């Protein structure tokens, strides 16, 4: 990692001190000079990452100082900040043309503070990540591997796109850098196309293409294909370093944000004990089940499943054992429904299933089969049983989750009354099933 060094050049001792303290606070080691000549001597002896220079030096104009500094060996990419106390547009433009990076007002140092703090953060940030790198020139491969590992990155380097593609599916990468013209039967373009066709997250990975053909229509084609960036050969190390830095950090920020969103989603929608959807999620998604049933005139059934004598199990074996039973049962139930069905933990020991395309008699048969299997499956080594109530949507305008739940819940109660461990379809007092 580069050492953060800065040089302040100003004839006024007061401003030198002020600038020095701002830069020191941002993490720079600071040297000072009173005039341009002294600064140029110091600059050629050392290598400063940042030079903060007055536009009003006693011996040399600010723009000339910039020009002479840039001509020194190793100052191509240094940040040269011109400090001014008058906003003479012409003078400032001259300084920019002569190579100044930016211009700041001496009387408003807040902007300078923000700039140096951000630069220091960027320079000292420890990158970590994995790069898939494809380049068929051995010499260039070595140079770029050095650059990337120096940035803290792990690199998987390949000469052929075929090998890289084989490695891609097994690796958790943060960036792909690929040459476009490669030896072998697969080109860099085919590799990019294959990556972009992937549906999973890795299909969105940032890709930097490199090529010796600096041809505009080829570049445009590459961007259309989904390449994020392009670096022409011969590769400028510093340019590639900055581009890699930007792509890796923004990709990782997006990933982190997505992970946070997922964990918030999981907290909001999933029951933490069973990892099934919770009641809130059932309410959220039920609308879709009902509207599709109306639209396509499909049947929709609901089953309410309630553990029998669970209080006794808790009392006899403890609440932790009860929790274990619920967690294992939840997992087991999830594996016994189809992808389009929905299962949620409604409350303590009560679960709800929405079964689209399934009428009530079919749901009864399904639940009876499940009950049979449950006798063999002993969650947490406990023999348990379920009372199940089933009801079918009647396709009446007021049908919704609440009305269907009410019927299925009443059916579940009828199953309890009938001695538990059985399935009941809701029956009206007149004996009509619904
Ligand atoms: N371990 C555990 N127990 C729970 C949880 N949620 C609810 N319960 C317990 O589930 C039991 C439900 O008891 P009841 O409503 O009387 O029902 P039951 O004992 O299963 O009897 P029936 O439903 O009539 O067969 C209570 O003891 C609750 O404390 C939970 O998250 N973990």
What is the ipTM score, two decimals?
0.96
Q: Are 135 and 164 in contact (CB under 8 A)?
A: no
Cβ 336 under 6 angstroms from ligand 1: no
Ligand 1 mutation pick, 310, 315, 328, max ligand atoms within 8 A of CB? 310
pLDDT value of residue 317: 96
Report the greatest alpha carbon distance in the chain.
107
Helix intervals (H) in 353-400:
360-376
Residue ID of nearest Cα to ligand 1 atom 4? 348
10-residue stretch averages of pLDDT, the chain, 434 residues long: 85 96 96 97 95 93 91 94 83 86 90 95 89 95 96 95 91 94 90 92 93 86 94 93 96 93 90 95 94 92 97 96 97 92 96 96 96 92 96 86 95 96 83 63
Cβ 326 under 6 angstroms from ligand 1: yes
- State the burial class of residue 107 (Cβ atoms within 10 Å of its Cβ: 0-12, 13-18, 19+): exposed
Residue ID of nearest Cα to ligand 1 atom 1? 322
Cβ neighbours of residue 365 under 8 Å, at least 6 residues apart? none
Cβ 349 under 6 angstroms from ligand 1: yes
The closest-lying atom of ligand 1 relative to the alpha carbon of residue 319 is: 1
Cβ 317 under 6 angstroms from ligand 1: no
CA of 111 to the centre of ligand 1 (A): 62
Residue ID of nearest Cα to ligand 1 atom 28? 311
Domains, the chain, with CATH or none: 5-124 (3.40.50.2300), 130-261 (3.40.50.2300), 279-425 (3.30.70.270)
- State the burial class of residue 217 (Cβ atoms within 10 Å of its Cβ: 0-12, 13-18, 19+): exposed
pLDDT value of residue 40: 97
Show the tokens assigned to 192. Answer: 């990019």
Cβ 196 under 6 angstroms from ligand 1: no
d(CA 426, CA 430): 11
Show the tokens assigned to 227. Answer: 């390449």
143-190 pLDDT tens trace: 999 999 999 999 999 999 999 999 998 789 999 999 998 888 899 999
Taking alpha carbons only, the member of 178, 175, 185 closest to residue 152 is 175
CA of 354 to the centre of ligand 1 (A): 22
Q: Pick the catalytic residue: 328, 349, 350, 392?
A: 349
0.90 surpassed by pTM: no
pLDDT value of residue 114: 96
pLDDT value of residue 218: 87
CA atoms within 13 A on the CB side of 157: 18
Assess whether 349 carries a catalytic annotation.
yes
CA of 306 to the centre of ligand 1 (A): 9
pLDDT value of residue 3: 74
Cβ 316 under 6 angstroms from ligand 1: no
């Amino acid at each position: 990692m580069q050492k953060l060094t800065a040089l302040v050049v100003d004839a006024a001792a007061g401003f030198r001190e002020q600038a020095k303290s701002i830069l020191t606070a941002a993490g720079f080691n600071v040297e000072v000079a009173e005039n341009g000549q002294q600064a140029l001597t110091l600059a050629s002896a050392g290598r400063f990452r940042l030079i903060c220079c007055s536009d009003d030096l006693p011996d040399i104009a600010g723009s000339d100082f910039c020009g002479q500094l840039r001509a020194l060996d190793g100052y191509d990419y240094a940040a040269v900040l011109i400090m001014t106390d008058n906003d003479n547009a012409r003078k400032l433009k001259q300084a920019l043309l002569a190579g100044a990076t930016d211009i700041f007002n001496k009387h408003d140092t807040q902007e300078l503070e923000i700039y140096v703090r951000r630069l220091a953060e960027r320079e000292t940030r420890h990158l970590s990540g994995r790069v898939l790198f494809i380049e068929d020139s051995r010499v260039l491969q070595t140079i770029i591997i050095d650059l990337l590992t120096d940035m803290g990155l792990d690199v998987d380097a390949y000469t052929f796109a075929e090998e890289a593609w084989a490695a891609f599916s097994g690796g958790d990468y943060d960036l792909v850098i690929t040459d476009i013209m490669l030896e072998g039967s697969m080109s860099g373009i085919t590799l990019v196309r294959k990556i972009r066709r992937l549906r999973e997250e890795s299909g969105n990975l940032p890709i930097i293409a490199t090529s010796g053909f600096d041809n505009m229509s080829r570049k445009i084609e590459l961007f259309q294909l989904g390449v994020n960036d392009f670096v022409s050969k011969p590769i400028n190390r510093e340019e590639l370093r900055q581009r890699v830095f930007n792509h890796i950090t923004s990709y990782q920020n997006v990933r982190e944000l997505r992970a946070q969103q997922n964990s918030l989603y999981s907290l909001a929608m999933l029951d933490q004990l069973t990892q099934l959807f919770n009641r809130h999620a059932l309410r959220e998604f039920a609308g879709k089940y009902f509207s599709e049933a109306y639209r396509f005139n499909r049947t929709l059934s609901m089953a309410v499943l309630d553990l029998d004598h669970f209080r006794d199990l808790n009392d006899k074996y403890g609440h932790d054992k009860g929790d274990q039973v619920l967690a294992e049962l939840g997992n087991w139930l999830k594996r016994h429904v189809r992808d389009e069905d929905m299962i949620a933990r409604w409350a303590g020991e009560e679960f709800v299933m929405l079964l689209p395309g399934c009428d009530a008699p079919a749901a009864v048969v399904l639940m009876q089969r499940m009950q049979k299997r449950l006798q063999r499956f002993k969650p947490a080594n406990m023999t348990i049983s379920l009372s199940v109530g089933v009801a079918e949507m009647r396709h009446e305008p007021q049908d919704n989750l609440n009305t269907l739940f009410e019927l299925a819940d009443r059916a579940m109660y009828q199953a309890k009354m009938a001695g538990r461990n059985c399935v009941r379809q809701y029956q009206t007092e007149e004996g009509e099933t619904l």
